């Protein structure tokens, strides 16, 4: 009976961890732009404090919305691909999100100019951005086209660490959506690790009831 209670407790714990891993909400405090600007608007980086933490740099994918320094709102945090399929402001535009993620990684590693890269990302989701003269003259249009092609041949691993911050509650005009990068296991990976660990414990506890014979120490 003690083993049964222990297994139930462990199962409930992993379910709690799994739910928190797959669905997370945070408080976004926009500190202000980082200084880059082109085409008459600020571009990456945008500085945020998330849940009161140290400043982090995010990139905006929502050209048609505006935010102001000091604004706060609540956002849903998902992996980039999860938000692309369901939950993001442009959910369903999976290829566009993939291209945006690859462009952002290029900005981070220094292979893509931040101004041009941000405009390329905006153009993936906004006709207004495409109609801005800077979009064509800067090369952002060509960059977006190239990464749309590249995204069509991408692997899931190419987007590891990319997260999407989608606004869900706000007090004024709808804020923007942002893409960030975190160098830690994604929520789905954490949940999978927990499930595997608890599964191993359950197998060990119930090995006799399940009719399993451990082959440890046996020789052929």
Instruction: Indicate the pairing of strand 178-181 with strand 24-33.
Output: unpaired
CB 94 within 8 A of CB 133: no
CB 155 within 8 A of CB 98: no
pLDDT of residue 201: 58
- Strand-pairing partners, residue 27, are 74
pLDDT of residue 171: 74
Range list of H helices, 34-93: 80-85
Average pLDDT over residues 135-150: 98
Task: Kindly report the pTM of this predicted structure.
Answer: 0.75
The set of residues, in sequence order, having a beta carbon less than 8 Å from that of 129 and lying 6+ positions away, is: 63, 64, 119, 122, 123, 135
Q: How would residue 183 be classed by pLDDT, with cut points 50, 70 and 90? A: confident
The set of residues, in sequence order, having a beta carbon less than 8 Å from that of 64 and lying 6+ positions away, is: 126, 128, 129
What's the longest Cα–Cα distance across the chain?
A: 75
pLDDT of residue 216: 44
Backbone Cα Rg of the chain:
22
- Percentage of residues of the chain with pLDDT beyond 70: 73
Can you say how many angstroms the Cα of residue 54 is from the centroid of all Cα atoms in its chain?
18
The set of residues, in sequence order, having a beta carbon less than 8 Å from that of 29 and lying 6+ positions away, is: 48, 49, 50, 52, 70, 71, 72
In angstroms, the CA 150 to CA 144 distance is 10
Whether 35 has a pLDDT exceeding 70, the answer reads: yes
Q: How would residue 217 be classed by pLDDT, with cut points 50, 70 and 90? A: very low
pLDDT of residue 194: 59
Whether 17 has a pLDDT exceeding 80, the answer reads: no
HSE-CB of 95 using CA atoms within 13 angstroms: 10
- Backbone phi, psi, residue 63, to 5°: -65, -35
Neighbours of 48 (CB within 10 A): 23
CB 202 within 8 A of CB 195: no
CB 166 within 8 A of CB 87: yes
pLDDT of residue 170: 81
Whether 28 has a pLDDT exceeding 80, the answer reads: yes
């Amino acid at each position: 009976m003690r083993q049964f209670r222990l297994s139930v407790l462990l199962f409930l714990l992993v379910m709690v961890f799994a739910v928190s891993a797959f669905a997370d909400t945070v408080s976004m405090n926009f500190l202000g732009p980082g200084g880059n600007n082109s085409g008459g608007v600020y571009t990456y980086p945008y500085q945020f404090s998330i849940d009161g933490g140290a400043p982090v740099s995010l990139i905006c994918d929502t050209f048609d919305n505006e935010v102001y320094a000091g604004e706060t709102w609540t956002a849903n945090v998902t992996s980039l691909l999860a938000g692309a399929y369901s939950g993001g402001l442009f959910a369903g535009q999976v290829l566009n999100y993939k291209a945006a993620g690859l462009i952002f990684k290029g900005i981070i590693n220094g292979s893509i100019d931040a101004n041009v890269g941000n405009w390329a990302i905006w153009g993936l989701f906004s006709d207004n951005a495409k109609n801005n003269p800077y979009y064509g003259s800067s090369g952002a249009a060509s960059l977006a086209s190239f990464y749309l092609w590249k995204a069509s041949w991408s692997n899931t691993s190419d987007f590891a660490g990319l997260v999407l911050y989608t606004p869900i509650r706000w007090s004024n005009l709808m804020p923007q959506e942002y893409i960030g990068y975190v160098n830690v296991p994604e929520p789905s990976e954490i949940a999978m690790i927990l499930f595997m660990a608890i599964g191993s414990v359950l197998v060990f506890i119930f090995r006799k009831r399940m009719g399993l014979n451990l082959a440890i120490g046996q020789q052929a």
